Amino acid sequence: MTSKSDKITMRETLQIHWRAFKDIRRYCPGAFSVSVLYGTAAALSPYVTVYLSARIINELAGARRLEVLGPLAILAVASGALLTFVTGALLRWKTAKEAEFLERKNRLFADKMLSMDFADIDKVETHDLRSQIAQSETWAGFGFYRFWDQFEKVAQGLAGILGAAVLTISLFTLPVPASAGTFTVLNRPAFIALLVLALAFTAALGPLCDNRAMDHLARCAENSRFGNRVFHGFGFLADDKGRGMDIRMYGQQKIARYYMEKESVFNNGSSALARACRGPIGIWAALGSCASAILTGLIYLFVCVKAWAGAFGVGSVTQYVGAVSALAKNMGVLIEAMGVLRSNVPFMRDIYQFLDIPNQMYQGSLTTEKRSDRQYEVEFQDVSFKYPGSSTWALRHVNIKFRVGRRMAVVGENGSGKTTFIKLLCRLYDPQEGHILLNGIDIRKYNYRDYMALFSVVFQDFQLLAQPLGANVAGAQDYDRTRAEKALIDAGFGERLAAMPAGLDTMLYKEFAEDGVDVSGGEAQKIAIARALYKDAPFIVLDEPTAALDPIAEAEIYAKFNDIAGDKTAVYISHRLSSCKFCDEIAVFDHGQVVQRGTHEQLLADETGKYAQLWHAQAQYYTEAPSPVEV
Ligand code: ADP
């Protein structure tokens, strides 16, 4: 990851901003139009009032003609009302766009997360990078939002400078009359040039100081983001229902509080951010305000001296003071926006580092053709696999063929490679050696989505959503209710479903509905199994979703599943041999290798084999009750 203090070149700044500009236009069309329009309107509208008020005051202080004053007053009121209306409408439009912008931006990150190779999702670095991006956004809006927001400020600054310049030119060009004596020095071009330079310098000084303050703030990002993570990790422990019992039982809040007070940038007065705020950030920000005050003083002095010397009337004093102050303010807005954009570059770097994570898995274009006979045969041929960054083989020389419509069990001790085997079967990873074939063709050559559609897996740590029961089962809001009901009944959830007043529309959990239903672990498993059945894929895999149950209960569920799997090819994973003894074939994994294969009887007959060894070691768990399914 690039460091925030890495040097930022002008070339990189331009490149990254050009790319961000194109990306934002693509994912949120209209975002720039509305912010530029609003920025311009907000910058220009005050000038109309400044100009018309000056004309009215000049007339009042001079000829006092009613036929001039009347239309001027009407114009001032009408234009003021119109501009307020337009600016207000644009602001509403921009606010609505902002909500869309944030939603689309989040979707951009979510799409990336969903489309990247699973191997990358599994990496700590990926999560770290994503979390850094999220923390920078939450902490100070750094990232895409900052870019969009400051783009508006650039438009506002430029429009404001232009408008103010038009109203200010005559301040410098209107001559002091000769009768003013030495004050005619104000008419000299050299004096005017010097004054413009002095004003520009003082105007730039304020925002430059502010930018220095911003740089110091950005330098605290790393530390502050960490503080934010601590805050998010520990700050809401007490609100987390699932942790309530553990916290009470073990007083975990003491650990959380200690950590929060020690690490958090907010609670810790000696943190880098707190010190920077008391030190350089505070000093630069104060100097910035000081420069602005000096500038305002200089402007008043110059305008008043020129008016006093007789260059223009009292009305013009309001115009010039207003316009020059606005000129300085808008120069400040522009310079500050440029500075913020620059300090945003390292955060945009992180974003693009994340969005540019390449998809390295080869994706073929072959379709798996929907076969009604479900004749999909998958074979592992001498497959070996190491997890990225690991030096040990998680699977070694695995040869297995799944026979269509049969039940295969994958058993072995924890850590023997069973889940890894399923991850490879579902092509979440590609093996480094060997091949996995579907109907004789390497699975890499198939379209990834088509291939994934062949599998329904119930993982050990499956997740349900706080959504209606039926939507959970179908994975969609619109679904076939009869099929969803059947899947739930097949999965053994029928009685519970009948007792639910809203049936399939019952909300699970309480996040989105007060009358949501909290289901037990066992019920959740049944819903997860129903979800796999609803998908109706030719392969169905149970990867120890029942690990939290006792061995006998697991055996019951597995055996029942045997009936409902129908003509599907079913794969059962368990470290408990008793759950799988009804299967047509059992593959015994040990240290990433398939050390034995056969039926339960065949395997048990080999007294010295791994299976017999595990069987006898585990026998105590299930000899007390007969296995529900006899082979
Ligand atoms: P099982 O499902 O039989 O319990 P696994 O397939 O989960 O075993 O694990 C096989 C081996 O691979 C173990 O040594 C485990 O530590 C390792 N392993 C599993 N997941 C990862 C991962 N994401 N990164 C690195 N090593 C892993």
Question: Distance, CA 17 to ligand 1 centroid (Å)?
Answer: 42
Q: Which of 101-110, 330-339, 437-446 has the lowest mean pLDDT?
A: 330-339
Smallest CA-to-CA distance from 264 within 219, 234, 236 is with 234
Question: Distance, CA 442 to ligand 1 centroid (Å)?
Answer: 24
Among 387, 396, 571, name the best residue to mutate to test ligand 1's pocket (greatest count of ligand atoms within 8 A of Cβ): 387
Taking only the tens place, the pLDDT of each residue in 434-478 is 999 998 999 999 998 889 889 999 988 888 999 999 999 999 989
pLDDT at 625 over 60: no
Q: Which of 279-283, 563-567, 622-626 has the lowest mean pLDDT?
A: 622-626
What pLDDT is attached to residue 268? 62
pLDDT at 115 over 50: yes
Quote the CA–CA distance of 430 and 420 in Å, as a whole number: 11
What pLDDT is attached to residue 630? 40
Question: Distance, CA 415 to ligand 1 centroid (Å)?
Answer: 6
Quote the CA–CA distance of 212 and 171 in Å, as a whole number: 32
Residues with beta carbon inside 6 Å of ligand 1? 122, 387, 390, 394, 412, 414-420
pLDDT band at residue 627 under the 50/70/90 scheme: very low
The mean pLDDT of the chain is 86
Quote the CA–CA distance of 601 and 127 in Å, as a whole number: 46
Per the listing, tokens 């599907």 go with 568
Among residues of the chain, what percentage have pLDDT more than 70?
A: 92
Long-range contacts of 306-309 (CB under 8 A, 24+ apart): 306/171, 306/174, 306/176, 306/186, 309/176, 309/177, 309/180, 309/183, 309/186
Residue with the smallest CA separation from ligand 1 atom 10 is: 417
What pLDDT is attached to residue 273? 76
pLDDT at 339 over 80: yes
Question: Distance, CA 123 to ligand 1 centroid (Å)?
Answer: 14
What pLDDT is attached to residue 631? 35
pLDDT band at residue 527 under the 50/70/90 scheme: very high
Question: Distance, CA 539 to ligand 1 centroid (Å)?
Answer: 22
Q: Which atom of ligand 1 is nearest to the CA of 416?
A: 3
Question: Distance, CA 107 to ligand 1 centroid (Å)?
Answer: 31
Question: Distance, CA 625 to ligand 1 centroid (Å)?
Answer: 32
The Cα-based distances of 134 to 110, 124, 228, 265, 358 in angstroms read 12, 15, 10, 17, 20
What pLDDT is attached to residue 373? 61
What pLDDT is attached to residue 599? 92
> Taking residues 409-437, what's their average pLDDT?
93
Taking only the tens place, the pLDDT of each residue in 279-294 is 888 898 899 888 888 8
Among 125, 419, 420, name the best residue to mutate to test ligand 1's pocket (greatest count of ligand atoms within 8 A of Cβ): 420
Are 83 and 48 within 8 A, CB to CB?
yes
Model pTM? 0.76
The larger pLDDT score, comparing residue 621 to residue 194, is at 194
Q: Which atom of ligand 1 is nearest to the CA of 417?
A: 6
Q: Which of 36-45, 248-257, 483-492, 528-537 has the lowest mean pLDDT?
A: 248-257
The Cα-based distances of 615 to 313, 417, 595 in angstroms read 104, 18, 15
Q: Which atom of ligand 1 is nearest to the CA of 422?
A: 6
Q: Which atom of ligand 1 is nearest to the CA of 575?
A: 3
